[in-house]
Amino acid sequence: MSTPGAYFRLVRIGWVLAREDAFSAVPAEHLPPLARFVQRLAGLLARRRARLEVRSGRLARAVERLGPSYVKIGQFLATRPDVVGAELAADLSLLQDRMATFPESEARAAIEGSLGRSVDALFAEFAEPMAAASIAQVHPAVILRDGKRERVAVKVIRPGVRQRFAADIEAMYLVSRMQERFLPYTRRLRPVEVTKTLEQTTKVEMDLRLEAAALSELGENTKEDSGFRVPKVDWERTGRDVVTMEWIDGVKMSDIEGLRAAGHDLNTLAETLIQSFLRHTLRDGFFHADMHQGNLFVDEAGHIVAVDMGIVGRLGKKERRFLAEILFGFITRDYQRVADVHFEAGYVPSHHDASSFAQAIRAIGEPIHGQPAETISMAKLLTLLFEVTELFDMQTRPELVMLQKTMVVVEGVARTLNPRFNMWKASEPVVGKWIRDNLGPKRIVTDLRDGLHAALRVAEAVPEIAARTERFSAEIMAMTENGLRFDPETAEAIGRAEARHTRSGRLALWVIAATLLFIAWQLA
């Protein structure tokens, strides 16, 4: 249920977007007539300077004006080209974590409130912030460990960001419900479910203990891997609002000249990056989902160090097999197998024809085989694949879209290191090994073992299932004899809810009307 405040925030969002001429960035060809009229009307409200600016990036600039929580929403939507479209996703990808810092005194208060100890007792030195993002900012600090000074990075949550996001997400729910109601063809994309995913993802990201846990998990997964690592977490100085981790001395991957000057082999770094990402995805089913150049460093030993693990992705065994068989099918030009995998996994509804789907897959794969290996993009292949699946009613799979977005970013970083980098040659050792271990004879043994474990769990649950079935049967019999009844408290609660809904709807209409009158008065 949307409150009047959600309607007011929605009007404010529309006003800011219109003033920044952000609506012009939305492709008009697929919009219904009413939406195209609103788009043209919004263009009349745009500032003259906004009209003269480059079209790409207008939406990102407007979102930055709306504030930190909207920047986080925009960054999330940039990972969902299936929902907002490729052009808008590319525009939103320009959003950077370059927010204004908040005072050190507020950071100290957040740390002390989270850890229950004074900053001076926790750190030998605590400096001014060096970088600020939409959710948190980072302070350099020094701790004493066994009598030795040790540099650390301290990430502190932005004060009040949880409350602001909770209010802003309500407006997002309002938009998604309106989208499902007035744009029926977008229901396949499940906008309300996408908003729920955004809410859950951001809540997780706002609990810095969970980011610390993600760093710890990826650290354990990669402890035997060469060339890749993550910072170690200082759990003594980590809480809900603060995470303290190892300080990384290294060169950012965005600094190509700095990497060359430090003597690093750019081709080796690109190969290590791709292989590490695929290893995390296929072997572990757990990957860093925000591996852009700003979050990647190269230390003195030549190891890639990934930081800022607020966003992570997970893939189950079925999804990992799906990914590996798709890649392997395209490599071997077995398009029927790629199509069959989609149907076996349940991603494409069974009423569609597998041969027709294989024909669509062939239309993607054949042009790729005519190109040099170093120009073939796995990320582009997956993007085209997801576009084709729209024709076959394939519903949005958030985990696969997150994977595709991350692959696009990782592949882009590798290409900046070496524009002629051969993605397929670098990927073969990891993908090939996983296919041999999981799609060959070993797969049968693994499936049998997993099936046995599942059968044992079912056997253990049989007594409880029987007891619940008996209780449910007794309740059904009682309902058939006595009918379905509400107790007085339930009936009263339903009445109160209906009354609130009616009052909120009327109040919302008055808020919208007053806002429109204010805007008209401002323009007069």
Say yes or no: 102 and 31 in one domain. Answer: no
Say yes or no: 324 and 372 in one domain. Answer: yes
Domain that holds residue 71: 2-96+161-201
Q: Measure the N-to-C terminal CA separation of the chain; round to a whole number of Å.
A: 35
Q: What is the pLDDT of residue 78?
A: 74
Query: From CA 362, how far away is CA 334, in angstroms rounded?
Result: 9
Could you tell me if 281 and 249 are in contact, meaning their C-beta atoms sit under 8 angstroms apart? no
Q: What is the pLDDT of residues 216-256, one digit of tens each?
A: 999 999 999 989 999 999 999 999 999 999 999 899 988 99
| 267 inside domain | yes
Structure token digits, residue 467: 């007891």
Long-range contacts of 122-126 (CB under 8 A, 24+ apart): 122/237, 123/152, 123/154, 123/237, 124/149, 126/154
Q: What is the pLDDT of residue 393?
A: 72
CATH number at residue 212: 3.30.200.20
Burial class of residue 18 (count of CB atoms within 10 Å of its CB; 0-12, 13-18, 19+) = buried
| 481 inside domain | no
Say yes or no: 66 and 211 in one domain. Answer: no
Q: What is the pLDDT of residues 421-470, one digit of tens each?
A: 777 778 878 887 887 777 666 556 665 666 676 677 777 777 877 777 77
Side-chain half-sphere exposure of 399, counting CA atoms within 13 A: 15
Q: What is the pLDDT of residue 504?
A: 52
Say yes or no: 18 and 124 in one domain. Answer: no
Per DSSP, the three-state class of 89 is helix
> Running DSSP on this structure, what letter comes out for residue 476?
H
Say yes or no: 8 and 61 in one domain. Answer: yes
- Total-model pTM: 0.70
Q: What is the pLDDT of residue 335?
A: 84
Say yes or no: 390 and 406 in one domain. Answer: yes
Long-range contacts of 508-517 (CB under 8 A, 24+ apart): 508/2, 508/3, 508/4, 508/6, 508/7, 511/4, 511/7, 511/8, 511/11, 512/7, 512/8, 512/11, 515/8, 515/11, 516/11
| 381 inside domain | yes
| 519 inside domain | no
Q: Kindly name the residue from 225, 290, 353, 393 that is annotated as catalytic.
A: 290
Say yes or no: 106 and 81 in one domain. Answer: no
Say yes or no: 240 and 196 in one domain. Answer: no
Per DSSP, the three-state class of 439 is coil
Q: Which of 246, 275, 299 is the last residue of a domain?
A: 246
Q: What is the pLDDT of residue 279?
A: 92
Query: Bridge-partner residues for 298, per DSSP?
Result: 251, 304
Could you tell me if 434 and 282 are in contact, meaning their C-beta atoms sit under 8 angstroms apart? yes
Query: Bridge-partner residues for 138, per DSSP?
Result: 131, 155
3-state helix, strand, coil in the chain (%, to 5): 65, 10, 25
| 473 inside domain | no
All residue ranges of the chain with pLDDT < 50 are 1, 52
| 458 inside domain | no
Say yes or no: 65 and 128 in one domain. Answer: no
Q: What is the pLDDT of residue 414?
A: 87
Q: Which of 438, 467, 485 is the last residue of a domain?
A: 438
Can you spell out the DSSP letters for 256-280?
HHHHHHTT--HHHHHHHHHHHHHHI
Say yes or no: 358 and 280 in one domain. Answer: yes
Q: What is the pLDDT of residues 184-226, one digit of tens each?
A: 767 767 778 878 877 887 888 889 999 999 999 999 999 999 8
Residue (of 391, 367, 393) closest to 380 by Cα position: 367
| 217 inside domain | yes
Domains identified in the chain, total number: 3
Size of the chain in residues: 524
- Interior/surface letters 115-146, b for 16+ CB within 10 angstroms, e for the rest: beeebeebbeebeebebbbbbbbbbbbebeee
Q: Is 207 a catalytic residue?
A: no
Q: What is the pLDDT of residue 25?
A: 59
Say yes or no: 256 and 218 in one domain. Answer: no
Q: What is the pLDDT of residue 26?
A: 64
Strand blocks (E) in 196-241:
228-229
Q: Which of 201, 230, 264 is the last residue of a domain?
A: 201
Say yes or no: 124 and 233 in one domain. Answer: yes
| 444 inside domain | no
